[in-house]
Chains A and B, each alone.
Chain A
């Protein structure tokens, strides 16, 4: 049985890996990362990764977990909906 935190009913569909509080944190980091790359040109390719790593560290998350989460998005409608919700808010 999967536990879904802070999601609408549509996110509870039994399709792919479940969404939970941790996946919501990855979604929030991704949304913040997208805002950062949209507002900044980076001097190096590594600087983009460093920006992501800093956001992950701030949220107590690691890149390996982020990559694993990212790889599940197309197979988990619940996680995709979490990310869609996180990115629906305008950037600060």
Chain B
């Protein structure tokens, strides 16, 4: 009898030790659920912010998510942090939903879909929790225009050479090494920044789809009378192969 009790206590002690040492993964998975497992589709070459909606079954704090992108794919997080957290807070109330956002850049060479492994950490009271899940980003080839001209007309004084800005809106996933040249009627001179042969974008060398940026150049219209002229614009870029787009803007010399 004593031996049986001893064996029982030993078994109970072993079970208690196993329970105490058990990783929190199962409990963690039950505490937090990724409602989003697949995002809206992206285009190869695109950079976009994708979101994952989360739900918790109890109040949790210090919620953080990091992604381990596959080769060629890059990710970054809001405010250049090393992780993303819930929108406007790091806490998630019991039975409510909130989302995390991740900036994802997919190379032009990608196809099919991107699987993004996510590691989620949070606190339940004073206990640290960790879980992992996968986010799928379907990829669909882009078909459509490369960009559009936002600026339709420019005004410059006839008496003084003047810097002007021409604004573009990207439509294709990303237009890399974006450069612009302008061709003006005889008597009007175009000067590029640094006395170069073309002008780049103000913000970056790439025009991302869905975003706007502008280029600048100086117009010297001292050689023509006031009136309305046409500027021919040529944009060169890589998507990923070299490509060209053209457009016109009205130039009003006053």
The reply to whether chain A is a binding partner of chain B is yes
A interface vs B, CB < 8 Å? Answer: 34, 37-45, 47-48, 66-67, 70-71, 73-74, 76-77, 79-81, 83-84, 87
Decide if A47 touches B95 in the complex (CB within 8 Å). no
Given contacts A38-B51, A43-B208, A44-B49, contact A73 B96 (CB under 8 A): yes
Decide if B93 touches A45 in the complex (CB within 8 Å). no
The 8 A CB mask of B90-114 against A (1 = contact, 0 = none) is: 0111111111010100000000000
Given contacts A43-B208, A73-B91, A74-B91, contact A83 B96 (CB under 8 A): yes
- Cβ of B61 < 8 Å from any Cβ of A? yes
Decide if A48 touches B53 in the complex (CB within 8 Å). no
Decide if A42 touches B93 in the complex (CB within 8 Å). no
Whole-angstrom CA separation of A9 from B135 in the bound complex = 37
Decide if B78 touches A45 in the complex (CB within 8 Å). yes
Decide if B93 touches A38 in the complex (CB within 8 Å). no
Whole-angstrom CA separation of A74 from B78 in the bound complex = 23
Which residues of B sit under 8 angstroms from A40, Cβ to Cβ? 40
- Main secondary structure on A side of the interface with B: helix
Decide if A48 touches B211 in the complex (CB within 8 Å). no
Interface centre among B89, B93, B101 (most CB of A within 10 A): B93
- Chain B minimum-CB-distance residue to A81: B95
Decide if A37 touches B91 in the complex (CB within 8 Å). no
- Cβ of B48 < 8 Å from any Cβ of A? yes
- Cβ of B44 < 8 Å from any Cβ of A? no
Decide if A73 touches B49 in the complex (CB within 8 Å). no
Decide if A43 touches B89 in the complex (CB within 8 Å). no
Decide if B49 touches A45 in the complex (CB within 8 Å). yes
B interface vs A, CB < 8 Å? Answer: 35-36, 39-40, 42, 47-51, 53, 59, 61, 78, 87-89, 91-99, 101, 103, 208-211
Partner of A41, one of B42, B88, B98: B42
Decide if A37 touches B51 in the complex (CB within 8 Å). yes
Cβ distance A66 to chain B, nearest Cβ, rounded Å: 8
Decide if A41 touches B39 in the complex (CB within 8 Å). yes
- Chain A minimum-CB-distance residue to B96: A83
Which residues of A sit under 8 angstroms from B101, Cβ to Cβ? 37, 42, 45, 48
Given contacts A37-B53, A70-B89, A73-B91, contact A42 B48 (CB under 8 A): yes
Cβ distance B137 to chain A, nearest Cβ, rounded Å: 9
Cβ distance B247 to chain A, nearest Cβ, rounded Å: 21
Interface centre among B35, B88, B89, B91 (most CB of A within 10 A): B88
Decide if B96 touches A38 in the complex (CB within 8 Å). no
Decide if B49 touches A43 in the complex (CB within 8 Å). yes
- Chain A minimum-CB-distance residue to B95: A84
Whole-angstrom CA separation of A87 from B96 in the bound complex = 8
Cβ distance A37 to chain B, nearest Cβ, rounded Å: 4
Cβ distance B133 to chain A, nearest Cβ, rounded Å: 16
Whole-angstrom CA separation of A44 from B91 in the bound complex = 24
